[in-house]
Structure formats: C-alpha cells, structure tokens
C-alpha cells in the first residue's frame, strides 16, 4: 500500500480537513437499518451494507463526534468494503442516528463499555467470520480505550482494528478545539450538541442547567455541564483525563493500525504517541498530511480512496488462515 501524500493543490491541515467534508462527500451506499436494544433499555441503530456475502469478512465502523453513516469517511469505507465483496456496518452512537435516545446518557470519547458489548454481540451473531473494527476520531479513541483496557476479551472478539485521527490525548485536543481558528470546528460540533441537549431537557427537566448549555462556547464548557456529569465524571478535566486512550495503548493485544496526520489541527504530530508508548501489536502510520479525517488524494478534484484502501489492506493481512 503506497504511503499517503497530500495533493500539492491541497495545502495545510485545515484545508485538508474541510475540503473532503464539503466537496468530496458522496451519497452513502444503500443501507439496511437495524435497531438493537441496549442492556440498559435504550437503543442504538446500525446501518448495514452488502449483506449478500454472509460469509465474507465484516468491517464495523464507529463514527466520530456527531457523525454517522452519512459521514464522508463512512461512505468511503463502506463503498470500499462493498467493492471487495465484504460486509460493512456503521454503528451509530446513542442519539446519532436521527432519533433521540431514551436515557439521559448519550455517548462519550471513552465509552469502552459500549464498544465492548456491541462488538461482542457482533461476534456472537457471526462466530465464524473475520470481524474488523474501525473507529474514526471520537470513535477511534473509544475503540482504542477498549482494546487497551481489555486485551484478552478484545482478542477473543475481533481479528484486527484500526483508529483514524483519534484524539488519544483528549486534554490537548479539547483545549486546541477551543483556541484560534479551531474554534470554528468547535462551534460546528456545538450546534447539534446544544440542540440535542436542550431537547433532552423536555424529557428530563432539571437534568442540567439549560442557560449554561446555551451559553457554552467551547467543548470544554459543554462537556463540563453535560457530557462529564451524565457519564460519571466529575468535570471536564476528569473526563478528558480518564477517557484519553493514550495511556492504554501499551496494553493493546489485537493487531491495530493507528492512522493520524501530523498536521491534524485537533492533535498535531508532536502530541502523538511514540513507538515506545504502544504495544508490539500496534502499527503507527503518521503521514505528514491529511488533516483531521481528510486524507484526500489524487489529481484535482481528488478522491477519498486512500484511507479505506489503507485500512482494508491492513485488515486483509490479518484474515485467519
């Protein structure tokens, strides 16, 4: 698999992040939606593709903050799995499939327990096929958290994993999203996060202070009043510290690929883990360009083929004989 090189006509981490989102996003492949009840009487929605090949390898994707099966990276990966005649499924975190979830809790960057039961159920339903898990951004951090914290059970559940643009150091990434031009990304995320949180107050009055939610201008402020207390953390600092996956990377036992651009505006290269900080099961791929979840390639106007092919090439080499 050729190494990633950002196109000469797409300079800078910010442009490489934004360009694919607005100009290379394609219509998602045909999906079949399935709803699962959660162990705590909530629900999640899964979008399946290419199910005719029931004995083919399965790629399960966990999306990023406020993402879903329509996100540019999800569409690109699911189309690539279909081209290989593999099966694919995009797992929506609670509240991200277009319908509010039932409980006060939603999802967060360190939700390893949620990752565990989903992948273990997929394994129980598909005991005889290779299962590969991929996580992008927030989903990547949560996946890495589970892999590092549960090496034995993860090895028994999946055959390989990949994390893309995962904010493994949440304290750094969160604070960078609240500074300079990165605040534009934070405002983008906050638009839907605020709306969902205020709507939840109609079902659970007094869950948190609506005025504070409305006034939140950074993810730090939002997480302090909503995400942290709803998911068992004291405050934003406690959440970002405990949910970061970087301290757990040395415990990973499943073959795992981590792809992260050094010019990612959310977590630049000098904050990324060194080879000495990860286990021997982890392959690090840190290209100079690519932005955050971007990785556009090819001649103008570009395409999103490199990242899916990088992940699927890695997975192909981990299919049991």
User: Can you give the three-state secondary structure of the chain, one letter per residue?
Assistant: CCCCCCCCCCCCHHHHHHHHHHHCCCCCCCCEEEEEECCCCCEEEEEEECCCCCCCCEEEEECCCCCCCCCHHHHHHHHHHHHCCCEEEEECCCCCCCCCCCCCCCCCCCCHHHHHHHHHHHHHHCCCCCEEEEEECHHHHHHHHHHHHCHHHHHHHCCEEEEECCCCCHHHHHHHHCCHHHHHHHHHHHHHHHHHHHHHHHHCCCCCCHHHHHHCCCHHHHHHHHHHHHCCCCCHHHHHHHHCCHHHHHHCCCCEEEECCCCCCCCCHHHCCCHHHCCCCEEEECCCCCCCCCCCECCCCCECCHHHHHHHHHHHCCCCC
Does the annotation count 264 as an active-site position? yes
Set 111, 159, 223, 264: catalytic member: 264
137 classed as catalytic: yes
Q: Catalytic pick from 69, 75, 97, 137?
A: 137
| Enzyme catalytic residues | 137, 264, 292
């Amino acid at each position: 698999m050729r190494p990633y090189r950002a196109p000469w006509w797409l300079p800078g981490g910010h442009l490489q992040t934004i360009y694919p989102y607005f100009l290379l996003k394609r219509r998602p492949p045909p999906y079949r939606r399935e709803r699962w009840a959660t162990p705590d009487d909530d629900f999640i929605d899964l979008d399946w593709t290419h199910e005719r090949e029931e004995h083919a390898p399965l790629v399960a994707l966990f999306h990023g903050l406020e993402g879903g099966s329509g996100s540019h990276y999800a569409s690109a990966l699911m189309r690539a799995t279909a081209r290989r005649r593999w099966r694919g499924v995009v797992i929506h975190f609670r509240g991200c499939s277009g319908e509010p979830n039932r409980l006060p809790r939603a999802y967060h960057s360190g939700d390893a327990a949620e990752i565990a039961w989903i992948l273990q159920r997929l394994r129980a339903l598909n005991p005889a096929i290779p299962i590969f898990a991929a996580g992008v951004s927030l989903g990547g951090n949560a996946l890495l958290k589970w892999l590092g914290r549960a090496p034995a059970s993860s090895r028994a559940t999946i055959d390989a994993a990949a994390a893309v643009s995962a904010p493994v150091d949440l304290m750094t990434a969160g604070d960078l999203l609240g500074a300079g031009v990165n605040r534009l990304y934070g405002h983008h995320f906050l638009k839907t996060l605020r709306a969902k949180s205020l709507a939840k107050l109609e079902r659970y009055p007094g869950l948190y202070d609506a005025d504070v939610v409305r006034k939140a201008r950074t993810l730090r402020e939002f997480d302090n009043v909503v995400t942290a207390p709803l998911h068992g953390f004291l405050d934003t600092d406690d959440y970002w510290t405990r949910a970061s996956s970087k301290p757990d990377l040395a415990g990973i036992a499943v073959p795992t690929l981590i792809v992260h651009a050094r010019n990612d505006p959310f977590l630049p290269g000098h904050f990324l883990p060194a080879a000495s900080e990860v286990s021997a099961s982890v392959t690090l791929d840190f290209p100079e360009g690519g932005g955050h979840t971007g990785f556009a390639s090819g001649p103008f106007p570009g395409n999103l083929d490199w990242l899916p092919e990088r992940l699927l090439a890695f997975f192909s080499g981990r299919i049991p004989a």
